[in-house]
Chain A
Amino acid sequence: MNTKFDLNDDSLVVIVGSGAGGGTLSEELGKKGIRCVVLEAGKRFTSEDIENDEWKMFGKITWLDKRVTAGPTALTKNFPNLPTWLVKGVGGSTMHWAGVALRFQEHEFKMRTTNGDIAGANVLDWPISLEELAPYYERAESKLGVTGTKASGLPYHKPSAHYKVIAEGAKRIGAHCHPAPLAINTKPRDGRAACQVTGFCMQGCRFGAKWSSMDAAIPKAEATGNIEVRPNSMVLRIEHNKEGKVTGVLYADKDGNQHFQKARIVAVAGNSIESPRLLLNSASSLFPDGLANSSGQVGKNYMTHTSTAVYGEMPGPVNMHKSTVVPGLVSEWADNDPTRGHVAGYELEILHIGLPFMSAFLKPGGWGREMANSLANFRNMAGFWICGEDMPMESNGVTLHPTEKDQNGLPIPVVYKGNHDNDTAMIKHSNVKSTALLEAVGATKVNIMGRYPASHNMGTNRMSAKAQDGVVNKWGQTHDVKNLFVSDGSQFTTSGAENPTLTIAALAIRQAEYIAQEMNAKNI
């Protein structure tokens, strides 16, 4: 933590953001002896800051800078200024994840080839395959300590009551439930404790049993002596020279004072809203539509996941809160089988929220006896959050607000999201299957919840083989600017049916190798 670099040091890699992408990249580069400054907009939290209280932690760690939710869905009305549910702090949104660590499936890297042209969608194959990414997935599984993988050697978590209910329901409808591969230690490993099942994975783990950039990547990066993390440092703009190479970043510290940090390379990892926003806000006479935006794709093709949630009221107590948040998955419909009436697939992820969040999300804006009766049945609830592949659409994306500015005088982001017909068909299918599963094990009532603010945000600086189709190449290097990289989930060409963190980490490990190689070769 004592490493300090000079603002005028132009030999550094400047990494914007410290989450799954930025944190992992800094750890990998630091271990290779490459010196980096990590600029993090949020503050640094410690384990003592982590409470088991949904609203308190929401208020404490959530990115609450003003954003505008737009689009024709209920999200716009229900959460007008909270399109996403992300974290502002060292470690980024890895504080707010349940640890589900899935690899993408082979076909998910080539959705265009698999399904052909889909009207109204902007589908593209990734420029990399599962085969190319597999070794990095393995390293990510080892690094994150993913249960049930060879790479970690950790066994799965034991089945909780919530898991047992869903597993039985799955069996009764001819489907299969399996333990979720979680980046949550089942044994002490890698300097972190074993899971005690607090039931609060999504607010930061008090025991550090869950892998997070805050608890693992950043401390390891700092331990190399090559990394300086500057919290409370909001990057406003990336500057470039006449040759179109980036030269550093302008950022504001906690008092609003602005500084310019020089850089040899800049890697943007601020999540799928802030990363494209930063590129758009860095427009110049040389890059009038925004930095690295010759394709016009910066900020476009914004994907979340289909992400509805379904909770059944069971015949007896389940006490779902006494469980890891995601104890298991039903992956029966995660494949690409168009006979279901939609392409791409979805995971039914067993997931609990606590009573405070259940009251807010069961029926946003709702009230009355029926809702109160369901909430009074909290102890009997069991259910899912649904993680389904979202279609990329050019009309979904991040733009700059024409008039409204943030505390630093920069236009706030407008986040537009509508559903493609395929998303709607998939949501319908997944709701029918979840309902059947829950009813098979005795649910007397099934509550289908709408989409809530997205924690999985992808696609707004997507990878493409050709420069005209996307923002970055297969290494996350921007097509337009050789020493500018994107290192977060905004690189995703398509969303897959999997939680993005493991793929973000695998891509960051791979990107670090490439950056080191290109620096050695003096190409950047």
Chain B
Amino acid sequence: MKRVSLGDDADNKTTDEQQDVQLSRRKFLSSAGAAVVSVSLLGGGILASADAWAKGALDKHASSTLLLMARDLFPNDDLEDIHYAKIILPMGEKATEDSSLKKQLNDGASELDKRSMKHFGKKYIEVKKEKDRVVVLEEIESTEFFGTLRNAVMMGIYNNEELWPRFGYGGSSWEKGGYLHRGFDEIDWLKG
């Protein structure tokens, strides 16, 4: 599956999966409480950045930095940016009421830039290669900031009911009667 652009043209696409993405996006936008949101693409199509985030405690640059970091932590090329954005956005909102989180996230984003500048002479989101950005992330692996992001992204991607079908995980099954009559013994590639 290709990554779906979050630009305005996304609304013209019609596959089921893309409709799901649009629905998710609407849900996302409405939960953000933003009337007008412009979605732009940065960093060679990698990043979605929403002005709505300015309402949170992170500026646009810090948001973009954390969004890219989120993807670098658990990169799934098949997953649209929105799924990573849905992890970072609530953190930015929470940080408006939590000054220590606000400081941790903003300082963390600055630290990424500082270290990227040192290694590569450019800011984190301008470093093109994932393996180069990983060098920077490895340096801050033991920080509280890193732990906050890692845990949030791990839970946001893998403990996300909406994404479970994408990973082939079934989630709750009792209300469907379990798998006794739904393929518990099916396997098509095993040759005995």
Contacts and interface: CB of A to CB of B under 8 A. Distances in A.
Interface residues of A, number: 46
A316 B187 contact: yes
B75 interface: yes
Contacts of B172: 51-53, 200
B174 A358 contact: no
B150 interface: yes
Interface centre among B137, B157, B184, B192 (most CB of A within 10 A): B184
A165 B187 CA distance: 9
B150 A322 contact: no
B130 A369 contact: yes
Given A198-B178, A355-B167, A379-B167, A52 B154 contact: no
A367 B141 CA distance: 10
Nearest to B131: A369
A296 interface: no
A315 B154 CA distance: 25
Interface residues of B, number: 39
A359 B154 contact: yes
Interface of B is mostly: loop
A161 interface: yes
Given A52-B173, A168-B192, A360 B179 contact: no
A53 B192 CA distance: 34
Given A369-B75, A379-B168, A316 B180 contact: no
Contacts of B159: 54-55, 355-356, 359
Interface in A362-402: 365, 367-369, 371-372, 375-376, 378-379
B163 to A, nearest CB: 9
A380 to B, nearest CB: 8
Nearest to A375: B158
Contacts of A171: 192
B173 A372 contact: no
Contacts of A441: 190
Given A198-B174, A321-B169, A355-B167, A367 B180 contact: no
Contacts of B169: 321, 354-355, 378-379
A165 B186 CA distance: 11
Interface string B164-186: 10011111111001111011111
Interface of A: 51-55, 158-161, 164-165, 168, 171, 195-200, 206-207, 315-319, 321-323, 354-356, 358-360, 365, 367-369, 371-372, 375-376, 378-379, 441
Q: Across the A-B interface, give the 8 residue pairs with the lowest CB-CB distance, nearest first.
A: A379-B168, A316-B189, A196-B178, A359-B158, A52-B172, A322-B179, A355-B169, A161-B187
